[in-house]
């Protein structure tokens, strides 16, 4: 059987792409191939569920434009399907002199990106959130930011796609793409299509190389780990984030919560020697570990993109004491004994490095071949942006 479109990967990007393709071409035959036994094994089932506003991203970047539009569409989908969402908003506070100096820059970036953002005084923050550690007389409120359940959203989309006639086949790892993207070979079968889409997240660079795509980027995985706050008396009405240091690609420790009312803080951003090495029980690949160790080691040694500075900063978060010392900068009324490692909230960022600019690439990266499209860098806020990202992929593929 020949398909109009084959999508490799059933994470949120693959699912929303199939959804948008069906909305655009209702008669299209679409197949999704997934190497895992479900669609939420990796990033789409492990992210914080935060629907971002777009305040952080360079004006005019894909992350800014697709993030804003995608967030609006994602909220609309969630509400239409009557899924859980908490439109709690986000408060950003400075936790150092550098981030305090950066508050105005971030505020202006939000304005440029069309984000509704309000400046808060020390007194206003204290009234809104008594448990926040207010070190400086300023903060930012972003009402748009919300929290939803990423697993619930993925499962809803899967049910929609089944109703629309989209076929999803699990336990099918793509080994090769040939015929300019029109033949997709797994470890079990060959599949044929008019156009294939590589939306395979942590494996996207491997799949792209197996399609003969040439690119200069290398893959660097970073593990994000959360700790659960076990103090039952601890409550927050908003998400609490630090004003980030925009010299680094990550946002710093911040709060998160789930539908059941449990609170978390994280994530760390620790270099990890395996793109799916979530814990010691995962499949360790020696060749991959050696390759990543060499790649990370050289970049840290040369401090490319301040990776040495980042590694030193992240090393503080490895121990519970170090993690707690960072937590105290953001929130009060949590003791070290209140922190418990969360085994379920551990994720790995699919991040690529550009050897030309010697930086981690801080925007979405998509490359086309004649009959295939490869999503190489679906970093945060890819979950937020997913519906708009799907439209972007369709446009790039000229479908």
Where do the domains of the chain lie?
Answer: 1-62+147-217+361-399
* Whether 240 contacts 129, CB under 8 Å: yes
Q: Is the pLDDT of residue 192 over 80?
A: yes
Upstream peptide bond of 267 is cis (omega within 30 degrees of 0): yes
pLDDT for residue 298: 86
pLDDT for position 247: 67
The pair of structure tokens assigned to 87 is 């439109």
pLDDT at 304 over 80: yes
Each residue's pLDDT tens digit, 116-172: 999 999 999 999 999 999 999 999 999 999 999 999 999 999 999 999 999 999 999
- CA torsion, points 263, 265, 271, 276, in degrees to nearest 10? 0
How is domain 1-62+147-217+361-399 classified at the CATH fold level? FAD/NAD(P)-binding domain (3.50.50)
| 353 contacts 337 by C-beta, under 8 angstroms | no
pTM here?
0.96
Q: Which residues of 73-83 are buried (b: 16+ CB within 10 A; e: fewer)?
A: bbbebbeeeee
Looking at residue 387, what is its pLDDT? Answer: 98
DSSP string across 100-166:
HHHHHHHHHHHHHTT---EEE-HHHHHHH-TTB---SS-EEEETT-EEE-HHHHHHHHHHHHHHTT-
Mean pLDDT in residue range 361-374: 96
Contact 204, 195 (CB under 8 A): no
**Residue that wins the pLDDT comparison between 304 and 13:** 13
- Residue 72 near residue 386 (C-beta atoms within 8 A): no
The whole-number pLDDT of residue 250 equals 79
46-67 per-position pLDDT tens digit: 999 999 999 999 999 999 999 9
First to last CA, the chain: 21
Q: What is the pLDDT of residues 232-278, one digit of tens each?
A: 889 999 999 999 877 667 788 999 999 999 999 999 888 899 999 99
Phi, psi of 321 (to 5 degrees): -60, -45
What's the confidence (pLDDT) of residue 399? Answer: 85
Predicted confidence at residue 315, as pLDDT, reads 76
**pLDDT tens, 83-98?**
999 999 999 999 999 8
């Amino acid at each position: 059987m020949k398909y109009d479109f084959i999508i490799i990967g059933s994470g949120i990007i693959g699912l929303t792409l199939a959804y948008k393709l069906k909305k655009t071409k209702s008669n299209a035959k679409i197949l999704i191939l997934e190497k895992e036994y479900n669609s939420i094994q990796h990033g789409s089932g492990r992210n914080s569920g935060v629907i971002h506003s777009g305040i952080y991203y360079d004006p005019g970047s894909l992350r800014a434009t697709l993030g804003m539009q995608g967030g609006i569409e994602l909220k609309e989908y969630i509400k239409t399907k009557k899924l859980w969402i908490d439109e709690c908003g986000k408060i950003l506070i400075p936790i150092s002199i550098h981030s305090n100096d950066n508050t105005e820059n971030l505020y202006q970036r939000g304005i440029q990106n069309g984000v509704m953002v309000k400046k808060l005084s020390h007194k206003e923050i204290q009234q809104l959130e008594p448990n926040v550690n207010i070190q400086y007389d300023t903060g930012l409120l972003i009402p748009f930011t919300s929290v939803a359940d990423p697993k619930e959203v993925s499962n809803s989309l899967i049910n929609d796609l089944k109703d629309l006639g989209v076929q999803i086949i699990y336990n099918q790892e793509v080994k090769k793409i040939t015929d300019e993207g029109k033949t997709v070979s797994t470890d079990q079968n060959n599949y044929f299509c008019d156009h294939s889409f590589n939306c395979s997240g942590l494996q996207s660079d491997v799949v792209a190389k197996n399609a003969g795509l040439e690119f200069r980027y290398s893959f660097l995985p970073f593990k994000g780990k959360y700790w659960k706050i076990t103090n039952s008396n601890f409550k927050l009405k908003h998400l609490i984030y630090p004003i980030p240091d925009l010299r680094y690609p990550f946002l710093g420790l911040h709060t998160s919560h789930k539908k059941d009312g449990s609170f978390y803080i994280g994530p760390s951003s620790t270099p990890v020697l395996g793109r799916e090495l979530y814990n010691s029980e995962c499949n360790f690949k020696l060749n991959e570990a050696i390759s990543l160790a060499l790649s990370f080691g050289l970049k840290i040694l040369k401090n490319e993109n301040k990776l040495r500075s980042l590694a030193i900063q992240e090393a503080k978060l490895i121990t519970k004491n170090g993690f707690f010392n960072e937590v105290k900068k953001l929130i009060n009324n949590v003791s070290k004994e209140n922190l418990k490692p969360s085994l379920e909230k551990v994720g790995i960022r699919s991040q690529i490095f550009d050897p030309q600019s010697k930086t981690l690439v801080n925007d979405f990266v998509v490359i086309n071949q004649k009959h295939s499209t490869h999503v190489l860098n679906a970093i945060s806020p890819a979950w937020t942006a997913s519906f708009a990202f799907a439209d972007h992929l369709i446009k790039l593929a000229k479908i």
